[in-house]
Amino acid sequence: MRVIKLGGSLMQGPWLRAWLGAVSRCPDAVIVPGGGMFANAVREAQDFWEFSEDVAHRMALLAMDQFGLMLAAMDERLVPVSNAAMIPGLVGIGHVPVWLPATELSGGHPEIHESWDFTSDSLSLWLAATLAADELILVKSADPPGGNPGIQQLADGGIVDAAFPALLGRFPMAVRVLGPAQLPAPDAPL
């Protein structure tokens, strides 16, 4: 099983449909949606109204749900699911689950730090570890820097969130970060 996080920034670029098509053709894919413009609205509201990090985190989970619902509406092969325990069964019968985390994580979780340092990048890693996935793929709207940078370099450059390197140390697994240059050819799976 592969957990594939589709960055919310893909909403505002020309590659979303192509990435969605490539991912939906993967027989073992699980999609984690980013928050994108929905999460940005939460950041703006928090900056203005100065509410707590835990409230902002829960609102950002809802932002991920919104993008996930949008993705599922764009491709009939995708099935929204709010309970991670249901994902392996859905993959087993050929569906591509889109994880909607808000319900499952709204009460908090001891392994998940409720702050902007722990975004959908780290949540996708947490889900991949929970599912014992073979691989985590983070799809971004910009290409990662060349030269095979390490995870800490990617975090320092804002490519992955600040909590990701430490979490990867706790849950080691294969991780790939892809951008537009790695987009598969039409009709090819990821």
Distance CA(130)–CA(128), nearest Å, equals 5
Delimit the domains of the chain by residue range. 2-182
Do 8 and 67 contact (CB within 8 A), yes or no?
A: yes
Do 121 and 178 contact (CB within 8 A), yes or no?
A: no
What pLDDT does 72 receive?
Answer: 97
Both structure tokens of 10: 């893909």
The amino acid at residue 2 is R
Q: In what order do the strands lie in the sheet with 2-6?
A: 78-81, 96-99, 29-33, 2-6, 135-139, 174-178
Distance CA(168)–CA(150), nearest Å, equals 12
pTM over 0.85, yes/no = yes
Question: How do residues 157-176 score in pLDDT, each as one tens digit?
Answer: 999 999 999 999 999 999 99
pLDDT band at residue 79, thresholds of 50, 70 and 90?
very high
Both structure tokens of 178: 């892809």
Distance CA(33)–CA(44), nearest Å, equals 20
CA angle at 106 for the pair 78 and 12, rounded to the nearest 5°: 50
Mean pLDDT of 52-60: 96
Distance CA(188)–CA(11), nearest Å, equals 21
Do 1 and 88 contact (CB within 8 A), yes or no?
A: yes
> Does the domain formed by 2-182 have CATH 3.90.1150.10?
no
Instruction: Answer yes or no: is pLDDT of 106 > 90.
Output: no
Q: Of the candidates 109, 108, 186, 128, which has an alpha carbon nearest to the alpha carbon of residue 1?
A: 128
Q: Look at 58-62, 102-106, 142-146, 152-156 and tell me which has the smallest mean pLDDT.
A: 142-146
